[in-house]
Amino acid sequence: MIDLLSFIHWDFNPDIFVVFGRPVRWYGLMFAIGFVIGYKMVEKQLKHEKEEAKWLDNLLFYIVIGTIVGARLGHVFFYGWEYYSQHPIEILFVWQGGLASHGGVIGIFLALLVFSKIYTKRNVFWVIDRVVIPTAIVAMLIRMGNLFNSEIYGVQTSLPWGFIFERNHETVPKHPTQLYEAIAYLITFFVVKHFYWKTDAKNKTGFISGVFFIMVFTARFLIEFVKEDQEAFEAGMTFNMGQWLSIPFILGGIALIFMAQKGMLNQKIITTIKK
């Protein structure tokens, strides 16, 4: 028999306090802290490279909008289309939950594509190389927020660090996959940070982005094997939706490193005005 006293009993309150009848949650605080940290990190990078620090406020705006819109639409189309196609107005109800990290990455990429054309006049991966460093920290904090919410955890385990998520009325220990991902993203942060500050990788546009995509989405792909299905339609699938969505990012990361080594992404965007 499994001795339930040997495991971690988790009953963390996800609410910090209530304002005007609505709870302020640790998840939201983790998000906010991540963006503040990210802002300061990118500011330090731009100053180090003597680039335009005045871009920062606009960059933060583009990233926030890209993250929220992309993550929400990713959840809608990748995981919940059967429901939201019948209740389209609820797509706007972000406060009810439902954000997909793969969609968030796509949203950020599209937002930074527009940002690059307007402000940096460089290949979009020039700015992505700098943004992915704090993004790894943001991703780590978000997964901690998921742990505080007692959500997206794993299947049953007999390992001593299994969590019994009592707030969800679980009675058996489950893999704390939120922690697994948080640790993987923290390791990714230190790796890409090293490449930026200690090597010449930042001069090879796309290289740091490629390393980030390979590390983050390989970790995500592997951890999904011990994670509970997020939606009913995933039951019986060889690879779940999170894994299928991770594969293009891993392959894209490999392609980016190859192109970066060849210097294929270093050119600036050439803009012309026809008179």
Q: What is the residue range of 162's domain?
A: 21-261
Which tokens in the block code for residue 161? 């660090």
221-250 confidence digits (pLDDT tens): 999 999 998 777 778 788 998 899 999 999
What sign for the dihedral angle of Cα 72, 77, 80, 86?
positive
| Angstrom distance (rounded) from CA 98 to CA 108 | 17
| Angstrom distance (rounded) from CA 254 to CA 213 | 8
Say if 273 falls within a structural domain: no
Q: How many domains does the chain have?
A: 1
Say if 2 falls within a structural domain: no
Which tokens in the block code for residue 223? 């951890």
Say if 14 falls within a structural domain: no
**Can you give the pLDDT at residue 274?**
39
Say if 206 falls within a structural domain: yes
**Can you give the pLDDT at residue 111?**
94
**Can you give the pLDDT at residue 272?**
37
Say if 123 falls within a structural domain: yes
- Which amino acid would we find at residue 86? Q
**Can you give the pLDDT at residue 24?**
85
**Can you give the pLDDT at residue 3?**
62
Q: Residue ranges of the chain with pLDDT lower than 50? A: 269-275
Q: How many CB atoms lie under 10 A from the CB of residue 46?
A: 18
Say if 266 falls within a structural domain: no
**Can you give the pLDDT at residue 5?**
66
- What global pTM score does this model have? 0.87
